[in-house]
Structure 1
């Protein structure tokens, strides 16, 4: 029997990759079986999607004749399969913790393919980065002193970035202002155990224009560093490339029409991730490279003329369409004549949005477990997790279902690879952590599951 997903009438259906759409339609019984075997929620990962996303960015950079290096921001998802896919496709890895570093090393990454951009590195993390000669982004003069203190007397030159805090990021706790960068360069002048590789910054938000402004500041510092006798070779612009989760027109119409009563809290969130923005990651990168940096020269012109490599650490943009999260409904409870709450089994993946007073503005997809005997009337409902906390919800937004779901049906959230999947996963109530598996194809081209663990991806 073929089961068909039901459209939820809230106006924000997800953009779906063909492989995902195929699983939710032709292979829906297989999906139900997987959840029965592996539990709810179930995280499914397509590593090949990351390779496709990486290729799209590389095409833009190559088209602009810009030397580049792309590091996959491993913090975006705990999947070893995605890390391995990045390495297989020629990318490096951005590791923000000792544990991400150790996983990267177990997957075969040497120091030349690793960068550590996080600001709060421990001495143990420093030591393991030094041991493999990974590139370290130094966040502050204080970190620089800690790093120097921990260097062996006979250390080979350790490559470092200095992390700039652009002028329009004054309230950020990350990076350092330009004068502190110059101070660090002065300190480096007499330290032959460190090699200044270039500058790094990460700008909040998703506007390419703010990166251009930060690049202009970085260009001044590159020139100053060269006057001081250094030979910087890279500028690293961090991450923050936007991802299109839903159709732009639908998204803009939804934002314009939404009202407080559309939420069970009676309050609209003040801000959202730009789920239906106008630019794909590749479009965004193209805009950045062709933008004027100064004196009529584009960003790409500047990088080529100065012999600089452009580095970046996309996370979410490389995990676009690379994963889904599947919940099994445990109960549908009436709260009144026109309102319900749908309880799902397992920890609440969307806490990273709802707990911060925002919302994951992508509709889930209902996959029924059986054909209903009779058509039930439509209902509206919000979605709640399994815990005893009243705020453990996947969606404060009222979702309208054309027919009432039943216990055992599945709710699928698409495109959860970029933070939504596991940012706040926990074992509250001693509920086990969700299973995470990679979706591959067998010899007949049918979808199969492979454990998403190091050595088995």
Structure 2
């Protein structure tokens, strides 16, 4: 049964030759058959390239910097393996994450431990392994000072985490007055603690506030050094945007989108959408931060160099840009007035934005037995939303009516592009006893993909 075309705006992901090569390789239908359900594929070469781009940005600016992959962005073990192999550090926030980083070969000195109100066990292992601990409160500092583990190779290494004044409603970090108290306690503690600097994390992706707060922490470091503390590094966290879509497509989508473009006339507040186009993203966002000037003529990079301050970064999503995709198999299609409802063999729990009052907007690619489906000028697009295989009416991977080049059929694959950063596993659950989608690592050998299962143990 045909449907009358509903003209909905298209929002394709930016072209990516590595992902396109996988889509055209014929491998995905074989993997779908083998696993009997949805799966994610991962591209470690892309992770390496993204990390190299950040290193290049630091080198161009003449800045001494350290990159730590924010592990919360994706659970796969392959990213930690790449960190160990390439000398990238890791940012962890739990004992499980710390153990996995250590177990995959990342040395403790290259691990930053963040998160609020850390457990005593996490603090103990972090101190024993010489990890750098971002202290979030005076209470946490007191516990470190009074319960330092015996046998540690050195005093606990810490950063003091600042509550950004512009985001005073955050529950993370210490106020300026609390930082002053923490510094006095570090001085009193002498060799019992090693205060190496300060850290912060800002919500959002704006460049100037991040550079300004970093400059403030450099001033804090200089003052702390006069107190006899090491204070030679600052961490500015993550917040490096990813550019998913072309600007023309993104702005046209925002201007055109309306309730009628979504199943059941669902409405979204566009302020809740991730900025799927960002004019400055990834390593270029770092360049922008480093070249931002403050009150005077000096850039942040100038100040870091002139003061001998090391810059620590904790990118997550930005290191995973174009490093993976999610694959679902079509189980059925319903025709409705003006559009269709496609049901796939997975759930929206494996595509996180739907559970944050938002939508993952880069649209899936339809892959059939003969490869990627292409449009036919003589045939109109087939608009359809995409639902999951559960009994929940709100379980939609995509509420938006995607303009597919043809009507999907059972057995076709929908490949959601660029989902490695926070999308594919942060909210996954074996609801309905459905297994979690496996992660497949695709290595490039002689120009063709070779696959292996990621070694992260199933929960």
Shorter-chain TM-score category?
over 0.9
**Match status 1:306 vs 2:307:** yes
Cα 1:306–1:261, aligned 2, differ >3 Å: closer, same or farther? same
Distance in 2 between the 1:288 and 1:356 partners?
Answer: 28
- Match of 2:173? 175
Distance in 1 between the 2:288 and 2:228 partners?
Answer: 33
TM-score normalized by structure 2? Answer: 0.92
Greater mean deviation of Cα atoms: 46-55 or 219-228: 219-228
- Match of 2:21? 22
Trace 1:28-43 onto structure 2 (pairs within 5 A): 29-43=26-40
- Match of 1:431? 434
Instruction: Please list every run of 5 or more consecutive structure 1 residues that lacks an aligned counterpart in the other structure.
Output: 1-7
- Match of 1:51? 48
Greater mean deviation of Cα atoms: 427-436 or 274-283: 274-283
- Match of 2:59? 62
- Match of 1:238? 237
**Match status 1:163 vs 2:165:** no
- Match of 1:211? 210
Greater mean deviation of Cα atoms: 425-434 or 250-259: 250-259
Greater mean deviation of Cα atoms: 221-230 or 386-395: 221-230
Distance in 1 between the 2:183 and 2:150 partners?
Answer: 20
- Match of 1:4? none
**Match status 1:365 vs 2:365:** yes
Cα 1:93–1:127, aligned 2, differ >3 Å: closer, same or farther? same
Distance in 2 between the 1:65 and 1:148 partners?
Answer: 36
**Match status 1:411 vs 2:414:** yes
- Match of 1:290? 291
**Residue 370 of structure 1: CA displacement?**
5.6
Deviation string for 1:27-83 (max 9, x for gaps)?
A: 1x3210111102321110011111100111111110110000000111101111111
**Residue 226 of structure 1: CA displacement?**
2.0
Deviation string for 1:195-225 (max 9, x for gaps)?
A: 0010010000011111022113313322321
Trace 1:66-85 onto structure 2 (pairs within 5 A): 66-85=63-82
- Match of 1:118? 115
Deviation string for 1:398-454 (max 9, x for gaps)?
A: 112232100110000111010101011011011111111100134x43211112116
Trace 1:57-456 onto structure 2 (pairs within 5 A): 57-152=54-149, 155=152, 156-191=154-189, 192-264=191-263, 265-271=265-271, 272-334=273-335, 336-349=336-349, 351-369=351-369, 378-442=381-445, 444-453=446-455
Deviation string for 1:246-271 (max 9, x for gaps)?
A: 11221112112212222224313332
Instruction: Please list every run of 5 or more consecutive structure 2 residues that lacks an aligned counterpart in the other structure.
Output: 1-6
Cα 1:249–1:42, aligned 2, differ >3 Å: closer, same or farther? same
Counterpart contact for 2:215–2:303, Cα < 8 Å: no
Aligned residues: 443
Distance in 2 between the 1:183 and 1:377 partners?
Answer: 67
Counterpart contact for 2:57–2:287, Cα < 8 Å: yes
Secondary structure of residue in 1 paired with 2:415: strand
**Residue 17 of structure 1: CA displacement?**
2.6
Cα 1:9–1:403, aligned 2, differ >3 Å: closer, same or farther? farther
Counterpart contact for 2:69–2:319, Cα < 8 Å: yes
Secondary structure of residue in 1 paired with 2:12: coil
Secondary structure of residue in 1 paired with 2:169: coil
Secondary structure of residue in 2 paired with 1:440: strand
Counterpart contact for 2:63–2:304, Cα < 8 Å: yes
Secondary structure of residue in 2 paired with 1:325: strand
Counterpart contact for 1:10–1:363, Cα < 8 Å: no
Distance in 2 between the 1:398 and 1:242 partners?
Answer: 26
Root-mean-square deviation over aligned CA pairs: 2.0
Secondary structure of residue in 1 paired with 2:319: coil
**Residue 327 of structure 1: CA displacement?**
0.4
Distance in 1 between the 2:235 and 2:55 partners?
Answer: 15
Secondary structure of residue in 2 paired with 1:189: helix
Counterpart contact for 1:197–1:231, Cα < 8 Å: yes
Cα 1:94–1:428, aligned 2, differ >3 Å: closer, same or farther? same
Distance in 2 between the 1:175 and 1:41 partners?
Answer: 39
Deviation string for 1:156-187 (max 9, x for gaps)?
A: 21110000111101010011111111111111
Counterpart contact for 2:83–2:106, Cα < 8 Å: no
Distance in 2 between the 1:243 and 1:356 partners?
Answer: 18
Greater mean deviation of Cα atoms: 341-350 or 320-329: 341-350
Secondary structure of residue in 2 paired with 1:317: helix
**Residue 94 of structure 1: CA displacement?**
0.7
Greater mean deviation of Cα atoms: 120-129 or 53-62: 120-129
